[in-house]
């Protein structure tokens, strides 16, 4: 008798099952044609022999979707263990999980699930779990050996995000204690030496920290690393450069897309721009163009950036090309560079820039600036064109500019505010940070600045140990230590209700949206209604409370120039923070009512390092500790006012550095709240003291 599996023909004759099986078979066929399929046995074999496998294959090969399925089929998820696969971005974790669930014919959240911060779609039967790399690092608190997982796939490792680098560094330590743990480092670029060196370096921890269980010699020799390079790009991609540089890449993007549409064969276009505003602008220009065309030559423009809902994403990912369907133009931020696979792309338009965050330790500012991409990025972007057939990339820069680009992007770990990272490491029991092995060690200036800040925040003591209870609490809170500090101190200042709102509101992008110039006076009127002279953060409380008391509709928000989606996000963030407060800090979340003084003092305990005084003479701001001059952001309620002294939670660089999210403070509060930081004590026992790195 034939088994059910073998007898596909019979099932195909059964009308009820036909379409399901057809779909499944089509996916099966696609799966077996993916470049990674040929290497399945080699991958599984390597995993038997080595602890760590570095897997290099171009985007679209099947790393993310196929690897976990191969491992599952080979029994790596037996006995309740899970296969983890990490992603640098939340959006990728959920999208890819749903694709894999689909391929396996299971419901998302059961055998295949995902978890991201504040959202867990897994169950006890989950065998393949997608999650963000940051979340997996936090899991170490609960389970220092990550014993739930048999294999951990660190995906998109080439991006070198801060969380990925941190995860790899701690995984190396976990693996030293768990020889059975397998790590796969999946990368889309061939630069494997950093990973290989890191994982093959001798164990540097002292003998006392070695695993205590019996290690047989053959087990020790298996503490080893290997790399597999899987084939090249699927199809060739032609590269076109500009002959002269363009002064306006947005205009050039539009004309290039239209030229492709006019002159090139069918095939969808993927456009890379730097941010959401640019994406929306080009999408609306393309929409206007499309409206003016006969239906035969229409374009459909679709935006793609982080934060979009499933409804917006569906037409991008769940799409099957049919003859005669309009040409799609997906206008995306860098999010489409590697982790997401968009079907049917043949043309890529690459503006050559990316928005990158860089932290400047000398003034403590994080700067989100548009900078040229690296050659590695340019090649990644180009690669997106050659997945279904030979493709073409239009680089909106000259060949000389390409040659002048850096070969790789600087790892995020080397250009970030390290305070949250160092706090996390301390909480994981890694006290000797000077000896901690980073994948690429951050500059010492960044380390010192972060330690100095954590000390001033009273999160670590002079010996570099976490303080109790503040430090230990903050380490568990998945937000920046400043937010945590403010929430913690709110008990003392009796303003928890307000602080939770403030914390939620500064976690969102922007609550007001600035309209075009004809509506500007209505906009200013609206802001004025919510505005208070104590500054923006207190104004946000008014906005949030008004929203709470409103019907909570898009219409209500729109009339007041408020961002509906962001307010919904703030509401959910506040709920999470409040739950955290109740479970870790206190039972009663009290309100300070109209006592804005306590509230502002409480905020100062967290943002004392970002205080500036107002210069009446020219309207500028001068950092109190530091040399920088900055300006009040035009969106602030304090714009065109002259507060004596204020604190800011963010600096935004456009034409000049603008301070955002302001709160007025009184100079004498500094003596009361942060005397050491500003050297305001008469006797100064510890003003110049620095915590030890060790
Ligand atoms: P990699 O991780 O190596 O970049 P993926 O596993 O993400 O590759 O994708 C492998 C292939 O699976 C893609 O080339 C594409 O054909 C298909 N694929 C992946 N995700 C989707 C999706 N959401 N919709 C349609 N096809 C997809
Ligand atoms: Mg991938």
- pLDDT attached to residue 285: 94
Closest ligand to the CA of 100: 1
Residues 6 or more apart whose Cβ sits within 8 Å of residue 574: 500, 501, 503, 504, 544
Task: Give the residue from 558, 560, 556, 511 showing the smallest Cα distance to 537.
Answer: 511
Residue-wise pLDDT for 164-222, tens only, equals 999 999 999 999 889 899 999 999 887 788 999 998 865 444 333 334 333 333 444 44
Q: How far apart are CA 165 and CA 171, in angstroms?
A: 10
Strand arrangement of the beta sheet that strand 182-187 belongs to: 119-121, 112-116, 128-132, 82-87, 149-154, 182-187, 52-56, 225-229
Residue-wise pLDDT for 625-634, tens only, equals 888 999 999 8
- pLDDT attached to residue 30: 80
Residue nearest atom 14 in ligand 1 by C-alpha distance: 60
Name the band, by pLDDT with cuts 50, 70 and 90, for residue 383.
Answer: confident
Residue nearest atom 21 in ligand 1 by C-alpha distance: 341
> Which residue from 35, 56, 62 has its CB within 8 A of the most atoms of ligand 1, so it is best to mutate?
62
SS (H, E, C) 104-119: HCCCECCCEEEEECCE
Closest ligand to the CA of 57: 1
Residue-wise pLDDT for 244-277, tens only, equals 999 999 999 999 999 999 999 999 999 999 998 9
* CA 59 / ligand 2 centre spacing (Å): 6
- pLDDT attached to residue 34: 86
H-run or E-run covering 221 = helix 217-221
* CA 61 / ligand 1 centre spacing (Å): 7
Phi and psi at 298, nearest 5°, equal -80, 155
* CA 296 / ligand 1 centre spacing (Å): 30
- pLDDT attached to residue 241: 98
Higher pLDDT among residues 6 and 330, named by residue: 330
- pLDDT attached to residue 432: 86
Residue 465 and residue 431 in contact, taking contact as beta carbons nearer than 8 Å: yes
- pLDDT attached to residue 551: 97
In whole angstroms, how far apart are CA 565 and each of 60, 98, 331, 483, 497?
32, 24, 21, 22, 22
Q: Which of 24-38, 337-351, 390-404 has the lowest mean pLDDT?
A: 24-38
Residue 257 and residue 351 in contact, taking contact as beta carbons nearer than 8 Å: no
- pLDDT attached to residue 217: 37
Q: Which of 218-232, 354-368, 498-512, 538-552 has the lowest mean pLDDT?
A: 218-232
Task: Give the residue from 587, 597, 585, 599 showing the smallest Cα distance to 541.
Answer: 599
* CA 60 / ligand 1 centre spacing (Å): 5
- pLDDT attached to residue 232: 59
Residue nearest atom 26 in ligand 1 by C-alpha distance: 343
Burial of 642 (0-12, 13-18, 19+ CB in 10 A): exposed
Residue nearest atom 6 in ligand 1 by C-alpha distance: 62
Tell me what the pLDDT averaged over the chain comes to: 87
* CA 177 / ligand 1 centre spacing (Å): 34
H-run or E-run covering 528 = helix 520-530
User: Rounded to the nearest 5 degrees, what angle is found at the Cα of 525, between the Cα atoms of 519 and 527?
Assistant: 105
Closest ligand to the CA of 61: 1
Question: Mean of the pLDDT values across residues 350-361?
Answer: 92
- pLDDT attached to residue 204: 43
Residue-wise pLDDT for 565-585, tens only, equals 899 999 999 999 999 999 888
Q: Which of 58-62, 159-163, 226-230, 249-253 has the lowest mean pLDDT?
A: 58-62
Q: At what angle do helices 15-33 and 90-104 cross, to 10 degrees?
A: 120
* CA 365 / ligand 2 centre spacing (Å): 32
pLDDT for residue 503 is more than 90 = yes
Residue nearest atom 13 in ligand 1 by C-alpha distance: 60
Q: Residue for token digits 């990339």?
A: 393
Residue nearest atom 20 in ligand 1 by C-alpha distance: 341
Tokens for 489, please give them.
């101190």
- pLDDT attached to residue 633: 93
Task: Give the residue from 438, 508, 555, 442 showing the smallest Cα distance to 660.
Answer: 508
Question: Mean of the pLDDT values across residues 58-81?
Answer: 93
Residue 270 and residue 332 in contact, taking contact as beta carbons nearer than 8 Å: yes
Residue 563 and residue 512 in contact, taking contact as beta carbons nearer than 8 Å: yes
* CA 25 / ligand 1 centre spacing (Å): 16
Tokens for 202, please give them.
């001798």
Q: How far apart are CA 229 and CA 75, in angstroms?
A: 24
pLDDT for residue 315 is more than 60 = yes
Closest ligand to the CA of 380: 1
Please tell me the pTM assigned to this model.
0.82
Name the band, by pLDDT with cuts 50, 70 and 90, for residue 126.
Answer: very high
Q: Which residues have CB under 6 Å of ligand 1?
A: 34, 57, 59-66, 99, 317, 341, 343, 387
> Which residue from 58, 60, 318 has its CB within 8 A of the most atoms of ligand 1, so it is best to mutate?
60
Name the band, by pLDDT with cuts 50, 70 and 90, for residue 690.
Answer: low
Question: Mean of the pLDDT values across residues 617-623?
Answer: 93
pLDDT for residue 387 is more than 90 = no
Q: Residue 304 pairs with which residues in a beta bridge?
A: 332
* CA 96 / ligand 2 centre spacing (Å): 8
Residue nearest atom 12 in ligand 1 by C-alpha distance: 62
* CA 67 / ligand 2 centre spacing (Å): 10
Q: How far apart are CA 412 and CA 425, in angstroms?
A: 17
Residue nearest atom 24 in ligand 1 by C-alpha distance: 317
């Amino acid at each position: 008798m034939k088994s059910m599996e073998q007898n596909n023909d019979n099932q195909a004759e059964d009308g009820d099952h036909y379409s399901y099986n057809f779909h499944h078979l089509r996916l099966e066929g696609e799966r077996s044609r993916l470049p990674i399929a040929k290497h399945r046995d080699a991958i599984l074999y390597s995993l038997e022999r080595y602890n760590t496998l570095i897997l290099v294959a171009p985007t679209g090969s099947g790393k993310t979707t196929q690897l976990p399925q191969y491992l599952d089929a080979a029994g790596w998820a037996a006995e309740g263990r899970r296969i983890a696969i990490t992603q640098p971005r939340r959006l990728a974790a959920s999208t890819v999980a749903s694709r894999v669930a689909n391929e396996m014919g299971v419901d998302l959240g059961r055998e295949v699930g995902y978890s991201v911060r504040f959202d867990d779609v897994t169950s006890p039967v989950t065998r393949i779990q997608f999650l963000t790399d940051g979340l997996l690092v936090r899991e170490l608190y609960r389970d220092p050996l990550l014993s739930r997982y048999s294999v951990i796939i660190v995906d998109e490792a080439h991006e070198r995000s801060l969380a990925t680098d941190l995860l790899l560094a701690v995984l190396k330590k976990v693996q030293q204690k768990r020889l059975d743990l397998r790590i796969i480092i999946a990368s889309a670029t061939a630069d494997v030496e950093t990973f290989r060196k890191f994982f093959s370096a001798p164990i540097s921890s002292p003998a006392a920290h070695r695993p205590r269980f019996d290690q047989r010699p053959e087990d020790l020799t298996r503490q080893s690393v290997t790399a597999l390079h899987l084939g090249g790009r699927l199809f060739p991609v032609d590269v076109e450069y500009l002959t002269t540089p363009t002064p306006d890449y947005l205009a050039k993007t539009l004309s290039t897309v239209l030229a492709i549409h006019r002159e090139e064969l069918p095939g969808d276009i993927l456009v890379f721009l730097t941010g959401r505003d640019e994406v929306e602008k080009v999408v609306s220009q393309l929409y206007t163009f499309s409206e003016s065309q006969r239906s035969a030559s229409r374009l459909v423009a679709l935006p793609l950036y982080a934060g979009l809902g499933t409804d917006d994403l569906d037409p991008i990912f769940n799409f099957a090309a049919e003859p005669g369907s309009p040409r799609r133009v997906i206008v995306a931020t860098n999010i489409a560079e590697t982790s997401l696979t968009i079907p049917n792309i043949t043309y890529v338009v690459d503006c050559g820039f990316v928005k990158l965050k860089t932290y400047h330790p000398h003034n403590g500012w994080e700067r989100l600036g548009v900078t040229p991409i690296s050659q590695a990025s340019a090649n990644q972007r180009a690669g997106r064109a050659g997945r279904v057939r030979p493709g073409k990339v239009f680089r909106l820069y000259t060949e000389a500019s390409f040659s002048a680009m850096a070969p790789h992007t600087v790892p995020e770990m080397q250009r970030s505010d390290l305070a949250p990272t160092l706090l996390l490491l301390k909480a994981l029991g890694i006290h000797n940070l000077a000896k901690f092995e980073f994948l690429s060690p951050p500059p010492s200036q960044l380390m010192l600045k972060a330690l100095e800040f954590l000390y001033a925040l009273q999160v670590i003591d002079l010996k570099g140990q976490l303080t109790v209870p503040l430090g230990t609490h903050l380490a568990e809170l998945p937000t920046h230590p400043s937010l945590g500090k403010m929430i913690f101190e709110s008990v003392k200042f009796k303003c928890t209700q307000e602080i939770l709102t403030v914390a939620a509101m500064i976690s969102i992008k922007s609550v007001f949206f600035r309209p075009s110039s004809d509506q500007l006076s209505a906009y200013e009127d609206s802001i004025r209604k919510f505005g208070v002279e104590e500054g923006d953060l207190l104004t946000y409380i008014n906005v949030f409370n008004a929203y709470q008391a409103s019907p909570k509709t898009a219409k209500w928000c729109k009339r007041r120039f408020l961002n509906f989606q962001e307010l919904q996000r703030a509401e959910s963030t506040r709920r999470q923070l409040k739950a955290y407060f109740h479970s870790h800090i206190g039972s009663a979340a009290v309100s300070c009512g109209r006592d804005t003084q306590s509230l502002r003092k409480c905020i100062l305990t967290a943002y004392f390092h970002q205080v500036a005084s107002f210069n009446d003479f020219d309207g500028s701001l001068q950092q109190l500790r530091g040399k920088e001059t900055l300006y009040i952001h035009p969106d602030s309620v304090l714009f065109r006012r002259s507060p004596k002294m204020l604190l800011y939670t963010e600096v935004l660089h456009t034409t000049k550095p603008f301070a955002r999210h302001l709160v007025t403070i009184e100079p004498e509060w500094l003596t009361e709240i942060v005397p050491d930081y500003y050297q305001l004590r008469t006797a100064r026992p510890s003003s110049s003291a620095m915590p030890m790195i060790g």
